[in-house]
Chains A and B, each alone.
Chain A
Amino acid sequence: MPDDLADVYRTTYRALVRFVYRKVWDVERAEDLAQEAFARALVHKPENARGWLFVVAANMARDDARRWARERRHLTLLGAEPQDSTPAVDEALHAEGERSQVRAALEQLTPRDREVLLLWDSGLSYEEIAAQTGLARGAVGTTLARARRRLVDAYEAGKKGEHVARG
């Protein structure tokens, strides 16, 4: 089993991080959660490790996001700690701007469309996506077509809005 899982790890770890990242939007947390999912897989030894990992990671990411939201409210009350400003941070902020536009566009999708799109982008097949989401295999293409169109439309709309706002 560990050998199998080691293979799955090699082929799936990055995809899992990519998937979770779009839910928690923090690389470190995404990596922690992906690692944690693999640690749990070691214990549970699931039949279909790959699919199982995505389900578990999605659940953990959701719980994590909730807890994070709670913590953030709490932190707001406490007042934020001042952050170091370094060139690296500025660079990160620029990339962050790009990212947040895509993020905002993604958030305009329905949860199901978004999930299907993110699973596909993380390298899952239609078959696996169908098993994961409960969609019929034949409906995955339709869902993906809609999700892609909405993502692009929402992104372009956001861009336009930004230009208007900047005058």
Chain B
Amino acid sequence: MSHVDDGTLHAYLDGELPPDEARGVDAHLAQCPDCRTRLEEERALIGRADELLGRAAPPDRALPPFRPGDAKAPGRLWWQVRLPLAWAATVVLALGAGLYLGSGTLRREPPAEKRTGDLAASETIAPSKRPASVPARPPAALRVRDNAAVAPRERDRAMAPAAAPAPPTGLLDARSYALTGPPLTVDSARVLLGADPRVVPDLPIRSVHRARMIGYAAVVVVEQPLDSSTAIAVINGRPSQLMLAEVVVAGAAQPDSLAPAARKAKPAAAPARAAATDHADAGLFLDVRGPVPADSLVALRRRLQPLRP
């Protein structure tokens, strides 16, 4: 056998040479010092190339969960999400205005605030389960029907844009963050937040989305179903640099009553968590929104735990 060419040496070193050829190379190397030298040179070259490629490797992250049967969930790209999102936001806005106008007798009572909380949740949820949004609607529709006939609701929906100038503050809060991106993996969320995203521990995670909120460098919304028709949105916000020193609570479902409670609740809950979590905890703005009573939201918020890799 004549000298071994480079390609064969590389295949040999890569363990990709068919056994009979490999034996031939072995035999030649045994009696050819030149090729043995070259073999070592090529081995060093391969090592060097691997090292360089390793430097240009993406960070090794945990494997995000694979959800077979949920084909649309993994990584729809932003341009596919944007249109349905705009559509969903429009419908939610219209419904919200309709609900507000349709429940005139109720709107100054506290429960009305709660209802706008519902809308905060449905706005969050709608895009990610667009095909399944029909089951999510009936509870809201039913509640509306309690207060107003269906026909007025339809009319209100049609005139909503014109009627929108004076929305209740709760609705503004609901609009205070906007989903922007494609569904995220938990790992991407972790990187965005610079900390483990907080979730309610015992609930499954339906989706993770990126959102934008004024004053926050990164916002991640985790959607967790409570049961088949109800879901909550857990909002994780990493404040932008200027606000890192203080805990900022903004855009809570009930700004007047809930935000102070949250402000108090968080330092109280923090020591318990801090022992087990990274120090970035204090920097995260956390909020839970969903179609459940406000005290349940507060209770859920207290249960938030970092989602470990």
Contacts and interface: CB of A to CB of B under 8 A. Distances in A.
Interface of A: 2-3, 5-6, 9-10, 13-14, 17-18, 21-22, 27-28, 30-36, 38-39, 42-43, 84, 86, 88, 98-99, 102-103, 105-106, 117, 120-121, 125-126, 138-149, 151-152, 155
A43 B7 contact: no
A9 B64 CA distance: 10
Contacts of A141: 6-11, 14, 16-17
A17 B10 CA distance: 25
A117 B50 CA distance: 10
A5 B45 contact: no
Residue among B8, B53, B61 with the most chain A CB within 10 A?
B53
A155 to B, nearest CB: 6
Interface residue SS majority, chain A:
helix
Given A18-B57, A84-B240, A105 B63 contact: no
Given A32-B182, A102-B55, 15 more contacts: A2-B69, A9-B63, A22-B56, A28-B188, A28-B191, A99-B56, A102-B53, A120-B14, A121-B53, A139-B7, A140-B7, A140-B11, A140-B16, A151-B52, A151-B53
Contacts of B72: 39
A36 B58 contact: no
B49 A152 contact: yes
Contacts of A42: 68, 71
A39 B58 contact: no
A6 B56 contact: no
Contacts of A38: 66, 74
A86 B280 CA distance: 14
A152 B77 CA distance: 35
A147 B16 CA distance: 17
A142 B7 contact: yes
B69 A86 contact: no
Contact-residue bracket for chain B = 35 or more
Nearest to A40: B71
B46 A148 contact: yes
A84 B217 contact: yes
A38 to B, nearest CB: 6
A24 to B, nearest CB: 10
Interface string B284-301: 000000000000000000
A126 B72 CA distance: 33
Nearest to B44: A152
Contacts of B185: 31, 35
Contacts of B61: 27, 31
Contacts of B42: 145
Contacts of A27: 58-59, 61, 188, 191
26 contacts: A2-B68, A9-B66, A13-B63, A14-B60, A14-B63, A34-B75, A36-B75, A39-B72, A84-B217, A86-B241, A98-B55, A102-B52, A105-B52, A120-B14, A138-B7, A140-B16, A141-B6, A141-B10, A141-B17, A142-B6, A144-B11, A145-B10, A148-B45, A148-B46, A148-B49, A151-B49
**7 nearest A-B pairs in the assembled complex, by CB-CB distance:** A142-B7, A35-B75, A141-B11, A2-B68, A141-B7, A102-B56, A35-B74
A62 B71 CA distance: 23
A60 B307 CA distance: 31
B1 to A, nearest CB: 16
Contacts of A98: 55-56
A125 B56 contact: no
A118 B50 CA distance: 10
B198 to A, nearest CB: 19
